[in-house]
């Protein structure tokens, strides 16, 4: 498994493989960049089919965190960690403490947080063996779950995208298709519903989506039919790589804006979307609300209103990206990458 020649290596500053025989830990921590500050990124616990798959995932995700933090104007770099394990059966306190020791060995260059497969409760156990953990909840015992902040950020992003892509400022009657109504997708659906949008959504967990649809008066579709929905906006809020060449051909929406990480199955999908006249909202800009809030939690002057104002700034950042993309006749994805690289010193 080559590392320096890996297609997703992208000059990562440090990649650490860690193991612990007693707990069965097999983990990788990737630190992409620390020019703006310590590398913050979540810990994903997933039963990867191979080490190669785990490595590719952690490299892509940690790089994404560098870009996300730079465009959210945070004093943070980008990193990510993965544990190769099934979170439902293999996650033990010993495993998490061993992970904490691995994080601690990096002396604060990497700060961990919750992600898919890991929870706030897990972060508390990790905090027994390292202080380089975030997302433990705010003062007053409020939950550390970043999803409400991510959903609010995606909502602000969507308003900017609709303004640029469809030339409209209000969401009344706007038709939106949401793929995945989990933590973020369901909250996004509620914000959109409150703003008067008409929703259609899908989830592989049919029960959850049917309950929510009844509550919001929304339609539901089978998972594969969501791409054909007759809508104005498509919001990918499930897993990564939703936008494949085939999906791009099928989409009826003129705007794509959602929470999922790494939405483009490959970089040139950005140009395919552009060729079809579909405005793409760079995922890591739209979904930065959670990390913005975590960054505020790390300060000793945390104020919820200030964090929310910072999150609403996602809309302004996108206004700038969309305007530059129009001027330069390039995809917003490329413009966002350039802007981020300028900000973390690789421009
Ligand atoms: P989640 O697991 O709570 O929700 C994802 C939902 O998608 C689940 O309900 C799942 O059943 C559904 N799903 C999976 N595959 C599907 C498919 N093929 N078709 C339809 N539905 C499908 O996760 P989440 O926390 O809501 O995050 C959603 C996405 O946003 C993820 O890609 C995540 O990486 C990204 N993200 C989340 C946050 C956050 O704060 N939670 C922050 C940044 C990015």
Nearest to 294 by CA among 143, 80, 82: 143
CA separation for the pair 178, 288 (Å, rounded): 18
The pair of three-digit structure tokens given for residue 29, joined into one six-digit string? 């921590």
Residue 137 clears pLDDT 80, i.e. is over it: no
Per the annotation, where are the binding residues? Answer: 180-185
Edge to edge, what strands does the sheet with 233-236 contain?
219-220, 198-202, 175-179, 233-236, 255-256, 279-280
Q: Which of 117, 179, 184, 263 to mutate to test the pocket of ligand 1 (most atoms within 8 A of CB)?
A: 184
Residues 226-235 have a mean pLDDT of: 98
Q: Whose CA is nearest to atom 32 of ligand 1?
A: 260
The domain locations on the chain are: 14-126, 147-343
The pLDDT value given to residue 267:
93
| pLDDT tens digit sequence for 279-319 | 999 999 999 999 999 999 888 888 999 999 999 999 999 99
Residue 141 clears pLDDT 80, i.e. is over it: no
Residue 268 clears pLDDT 80, i.e. is over it: yes
Per the annotation, where are the binding residues for NAD(+)? Answer: 180-185
The pLDDT value given to residue 135:
76
Using 50, 70 and 90 to split pLDDT, how confident is the model at 210?
A: very high
296, burial (CB in 10 Å: exposed 0-12, middle 13-18, buried 19+) = buried
Quote the distance between the C-alpha of residue 327 and its chain's center.
27
Using 50, 70 and 90 to split pLDDT, how confident is the model at 116?
A: confident
Which residues does 101 contact at the CB level (< 8 Å), separation at least 6? 20, 129, 130
Using 50, 70 and 90 to split pLDDT, how confident is the model at 142?
A: low
CA of 187 to the centre of ligand 1 (A): 12
Q: Which of 238, 288, 290 to mutate to test the pocket of ligand 1 (most atoms within 8 A of CB)?
A: 238
Helices 147-166 and 289-297 cross at an angle (nearest 10°) of: 140
Using 50, 70 and 90 to split pLDDT, how confident is the model at 156?
A: very high
Residue 40 clears pLDDT 90, i.e. is over it: yes
Same-fold call for 14-126 versus 147-343: yes
CA of 329 to the centre of ligand 1 (A): 31
Whether the Cβ atoms of residue 3 and residue 10 lie closer than 8 Å to each other: no
Q: Which residues line ligand 1 (CB under 6 A)?
A: 146-147, 150, 179-185, 202-205, 223, 237-240, 259-261, 287, 290
CA of 209 to the centre of ligand 1 (A): 13
| pLDDT tens digit sequence for 52-104 | 999 999 999 999 999 999 999 999 999 999 999 999 999 999 999 999 999 99
Torsion sign, CA atoms 155, 151, 178, 55 = positive
The pLDDT value given to residue 58:
96
| pLDDT tens digit sequence for 9-29 | 999 999 999 999 999 999 999
User: Which atom of ligand 1 approaches the CA of 150 most closely?
Assistant: 40
Q: Which of 200, 239, 240 to mutate to test the pocket of ligand 1 (most atoms within 8 A of CB)?
A: 239
The pLDDT value given to residue 20:
98
Q: Above pLDDT 70, what percent of the chain?
A: 98
159 included as an active-site residue: no
The pLDDT value given to residue 140:
56
What CATH number belongs to 14-126?
Answer: 3.40.50.10860
To the question of domain 147-343 being in CATH 2.40.30.60, the answer is no
CA of 203 to the centre of ligand 1 (A): 9
CA of 300 to the centre of ligand 1 (A): 31
Q: With DSSP H G I counted as helix, E B as strand and the rest as coil, what are the percentages for the chain, rounded to 5?
A: 45, 15, 40
Residues 323-344 have a mean pLDDT of: 96
> Angle CA(178)–CA(256)–CA(288) in degrees, nearest 5?
85
CA separation for the pair 342, 347 (Å, rounded): 4
Q: What is the DSSP string of 129-196?
A: T-S-B--S--TTS-----HHHHHHHHHHHHHHHHHHHH--S--TT-EEEEE--SHHHHHHHHHHHHTT
CA separation for the pair 203, 181 (Å, rounded): 6
Q: Above pLDDT 90, what percent of the chain?
A: 88
For the whole model, what pTM was predicted?
0.94
Q: Whose CA is nearest to atom 40 of ligand 1?
A: 147
H/E element holding 31? strand 25-33
Residues 192-198 have a mean pLDDT of: 98
């Amino acid at each position: 498994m080559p590392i320096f020649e890996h297609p997703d290596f992208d000059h990562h500053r440090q990649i650490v493989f860690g193991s612990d025989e007693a707990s069965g830990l097999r983990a990788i921590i990737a630190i992409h960049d620390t020019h703006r500050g310590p590398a913050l990124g979540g810990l994903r616990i997933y039963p990867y089919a191979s080490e190669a798959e785990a490595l590719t995932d952690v490299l892509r995700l940690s790089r994404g965190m560098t870009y996300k933090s730079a465009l959210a104007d945070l004093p943070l770099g980008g990193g990510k960690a993965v544990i190769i394990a099934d979170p439902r059966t293999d996650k033990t306190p010993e495993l998490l403490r061993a992970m904490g020791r691995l994080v601690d060995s990096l002396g604060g260059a990497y700060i961990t947080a919750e992600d898919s497969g890991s929870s706030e409760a897990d972060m508390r156990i990790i905090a027994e063996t390292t202080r380089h953990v975030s997302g433990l909840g705010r003062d007053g015992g409020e939950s550390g779950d970043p999803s409400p902040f991510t959903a609010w950020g995606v909502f602000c992003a969507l308003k900017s995208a609709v303004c640029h892509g469809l030339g409209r400022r209000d969401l009344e009657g706007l038709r939106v298709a949401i793929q995945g109504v989990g933590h973020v997708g369901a909250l996004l659906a509620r914000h959109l519903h409150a703003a008067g949008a008409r929703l259609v959504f899908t989830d592989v967990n049919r029960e959850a989506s049917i309950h929510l649809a009844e509550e919001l008066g929304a339609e539901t579709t089978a998972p594969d039919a969501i791409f054909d929905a007759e809508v104005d906006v498509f919001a990918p809020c499930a897993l990564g790589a939703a936008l494949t060449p085939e999906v791009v051909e099928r989409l009826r929406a003129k705007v794509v804006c959602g929470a999922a990480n790494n939405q483009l199955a490959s970089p040139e999908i950005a140009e395919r979307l552009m060729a079809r006249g579909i405005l793409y909202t760079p995922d890591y800009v739209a979904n930065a609300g959670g990390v913005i809030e975590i960054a505020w939690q790390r300060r000793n002057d945390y104020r919820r209103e200030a964090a929310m104002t910072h999150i609403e700034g996602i809309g302004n950042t996108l206004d700038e990206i969309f305007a530059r993309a129009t001027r330069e006749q390039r995809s917003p994805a490329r413009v966002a990458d350039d802007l981020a690289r300028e900000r973390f010193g690789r421009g």
